[in-house]
Every structure is written in structure tokens, then in C-alpha cells.
Amino acid sequence: MSKRIWKVMVVLVGLALLIAACAPASTPTQAPTQPPAEPTQPPAQPTQPPAEPTQAPTGGIDCMGAKPGDELTMLYQWSGQEEARLNEILKPLVDACGIVIKPESTRDQALLDTKVQAGTPPDVAFWNVAQLVQYQDKLVPMDVLGAHRENYADFFVQPGTINGKWLGLPVKADIKTIIWYSPAVFKAKGYTVPTTWEELDALVEKMVANGDVPWSMGFESGDATGWTGSDFIQDILLVKRGPQYVLDIIDGKVPYNDAGVKEAYEIYGKWAKDPKYTVGGAQGTLSTGFLDAIYKVFSDPPEAMMVRQSGFAGGEIARKYPDLVYGEDYDFFMVPGAQGLQGGADWMMAFRDTPAVRALVAYLSSELGGANWAKAGFDLSPNKGATGNYTDPALLKKGEMLANTQGFTPDIGDTIPGGFGKAEWTGIIEFINGTKDLDTVLADIAKVQAEALGK
């Protein structure tokens, strides 16, 4: 090769390197930190055929045709630590597909109503079953969007199915059917965790015989006083009658003054009215705040041996008594004998069919999405992929309960409309206070139930 040709080649290579060095670097797409701009287009009806739900491979994410820069607006009620955990869950999707998420957080459902009525809803919203019913004519079905139906038990799909259309994907859940206690106190007193309802009943009687108060059942909560009593009664129904019975009450197939409901009230009343069984007897149940009722089990010395309360109680115990150790000083067990769980769930609904929406639905409903939700510790995930992937020991335990349950029922009072919840709480107060006999109490509540459901 001649020296002239060699010099020409050197110059060309140098020019190429200089051009490459001056080219602008690509900018990675990140989740936004500011509220989304108001969308200007009306909600689009699905124009694409139903997506084929192809399970994302392990460690992989199906972008469903979404391209870097595609925007995805969403509205939800979470903030603070909850919002941070959601961002952690969504980060793999953002990183893999380059989707730009534009979130907005509010506790005011009226904001969602305003957006929907104005024809400018978010692409997706995370809200309640009531909104699935309310907006059913404006929502895109989950199977059209490519949701992985196989990763959800039937009892988690059914509440999100409105008039035959699967409109809501359950993304987050909490369970209520649990009893909190102190393992250290149980060990010191020779008590063992019951595994059947009969064992629980025998344990309660043993505690009474030993001079210990079994329950702390205070339910004072301002205008909502009585809600912890309705939760306890619903758990008794799950033991004695099962989840379908509870769902039949919610649908109005079983009237609230049915014999099964009366039985549950009588069992609850025996414990909630007598000072041998609960702190302060009936007056203590009526006047003790629901948070104070939790604390009494873990005070030194304890005022009671057990409290039936939702999953949030663990956080309250840790805040009140920071020196207590979970698993040693406080723990929980499932209400023994319950044939299903009582709890709440948050649902994702989609107002538009776009590649970005499809990517989100496919990801959150995939096994990978369920696993990432569990690892982030954002309560429980109804997705089967979450099983075994929780890192928090309490969530791991509750996750196993959720994975193995044969049914999941929403709160009766929260689900039946028309002021039923308030009527139920009022009736429970009257029952515990003795101002009305039980048959009259149940008949009054059943009347409100029938009116609310048009029966």
C-alpha cells in the first residue's frame, strides 16, 4: 500500500471518530415526577383486535408494540411511600419499553368523575369496584388488552366482571380475617395458636378459666363506630357459612335477618358484651377506640390476649411499641376455620386501548409483574406470580394465606350501596348496647338492604 493511500485512510478514520464523538447521546426515558397534563382527546374505543396474552419470558417484558416516548396517563389514590413502591414496580416496564408515565394522585373520586364526564379520562385509573360499575360503558375489557387471566383465581376475576365483561384487574389486596397476639405471652401462659374454630372457642374458655381476658374488641371510631364489629361478624360468617353465603348477602339473595346472620351476631355478642370475654364488657366495646383496642393486647402487662383486626394493625403496633419484635412479641394467625378471606382490593381500569396501556396490563398481570409487586412490599398482590416472592415476613405469611384461600369477599357494609353500611353499624351498636333486641336490629338492617338492592 502506498504512503499516499495510507494517509488518506488515516484522515477518513479520524473524521469518522470525530463525527461520532460530536453526535448527541440518547436520553433514557424516566418516570415523570410531575402531574400529567390534561388529555385533549376524547376516550377512544378499542380499535385493535384482542391482544394475544403471551406470557412474558422470565426476566423479560412484552412491550405490546409500545415505543420509547409513548405516554401513559394514570390516576390513583396512592401517595408518599405507597406511590414510591408503585414506581418501583413500574420501573422495569419503563426501562424495557421507554414508556413515559404521567401520574396523578388524589383521594378525591370527584376528580376522576370530572375527567370522565369531560371526555378526558386518564388512560388508566386505579380505583374501586363501584367505579367499574359506574364507568362500565367507557372501559376497555382486560382480555381485549391482553391480560393474563390464568394468573388470577376466579374469585378475583368475578368482582371485576361487570355484565359479562372483565373490566377490572385486581392489583393490590389486604386481608382482614386475622387475629393478632403476642407469641411471648402465649408461651409464658401455655397457650397455643388454634387451628380450628373449635380450638379457638376452647382457647377462649381456657383463658377465662385462668383469669385472663381473651379479647380486646373496642370499636369506637367516630361516625364509623361499629365497623370493627361488622368485620368480626363477617369473619364468623366465613367460618360458619362460607364465602358464597357472604356474597349472597351482598347480592341480596340472602336477607340480612337470615338465621345464619343471627347465629353470627349471637356468637359475637357473647364475647363483645361480657367483661369476662372482652376488656370492659359491652361498655368497653362501645367506648374503646379501635386503635386502643389493638394496643391493649401488647401493653405491659397485657389487658387482653387477642384482638381481631386487619393487616394494618402490625404497623400500628410497631409505631406504638417500637421495641417490640415481630414474630416474637407480636404476630398474627388466620381466623381458624374460616372458609375464605375478607378483605379489600384496588382495581385497575382502562379508558383507552393503546400499545402503552396494553404493555402495562400485560406486565402487571404477568407472573413477573406479580413477583415484582410482591418484592416491592406494596401490600398483597392477587396475581399468582406474587406467591413466594414477598420479602417482608408478615407479607410473606399473609401472601400464603391469600394464595391458599378458597374465596375472597369484600366488606359487606362497604359493598352494599344506599347507606347500608351506616345502618349495619347502627344496628351493631344497638345490639351491643341492648337498646333493641336482636331480631328487631336484624330486621331493620334487612329492610335497608332490600331497599338498597331493589329487592
pLDDT in tens, the chain (455 residues): 443 333 333 333 343 333 333 333 333 333 333 333 333 333 334 444 554 444 443 348 999 999 999 999 999 999 999 999 999 999 999 999 999 999 999 999 999 999 999 999 999 999 999 899 999 999 999 999 999 999 999 999 999 999 999 999 999 999 999 999 999 999 999 999 999 999 999 999 999 999 999 999 999 999 999 999 999 999 999 999 999 999 999 999 999 999 999 999 999 999 999 999 999 999 999 999 999 999 999 999 999 999 999 999 999 999 999 999 999 999 999 999 999 999 999 999 999 999 999 999 999 999 999 999 999 999 999 999 999 999 999 999 999 999 999 999 999 998 999 899 999 999 999 999 999 999 999 999 999 999 999 98
| Cis check: omega of the bond before 393, within 30 degrees of 0 | no
User: How crowded is the C-beta side of 341, counted as CA atoms within 13 Å?
Assistant: 28
